[in-house]
């Protein structure tokens, strides 16, 4: 047969594995995306862009 003899078991293992992976990736994603390094880098880039623009005096 081309399919598994236990399709329900395979489905449960696949679903369980996905559940575990999703739960473990969330803290990693939060750590990487909200790391203070990125915040400081974004502020440095914003300041560099502001300094590069010519000042308009009124």
pLDDT in tens, 2-53: 665 778 888 999 999 999 998 888 888 888 888 888 888 889 999 999 988 8
d(CA 7, CA 19): 18
Q: Model-level pTM?
A: 0.44
- Burial class of residue 3 (count of CB atoms within 10 Å of its CB; 0-12, 13-18, 19+): exposed
- Supply the DSSP symbol for 21: H
Indicate the pLDDT class of residue 1, thresholds 50, 70 and 90: low
Would you say the C-alpha torsion 29, 35, 41, 47 has a positive or negative sign?
A: positive
The C-alpha torsion from 18 through 19 and 24 to 28, rounded to 10°, is: 70
């Amino acid at each position: 047969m081309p399919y598994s003899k236990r399709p329900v078991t395979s489905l449960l293992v696949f679903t369980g594995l996905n559940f575990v992976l999703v739960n473990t990736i969330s803290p990693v994603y939060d750590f990487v995306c909200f790391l203070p390094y990125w915040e400081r880098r974004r502020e440095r880039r914003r300041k560099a862009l502001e300094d590069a623009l010519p000042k308009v005096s009124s």
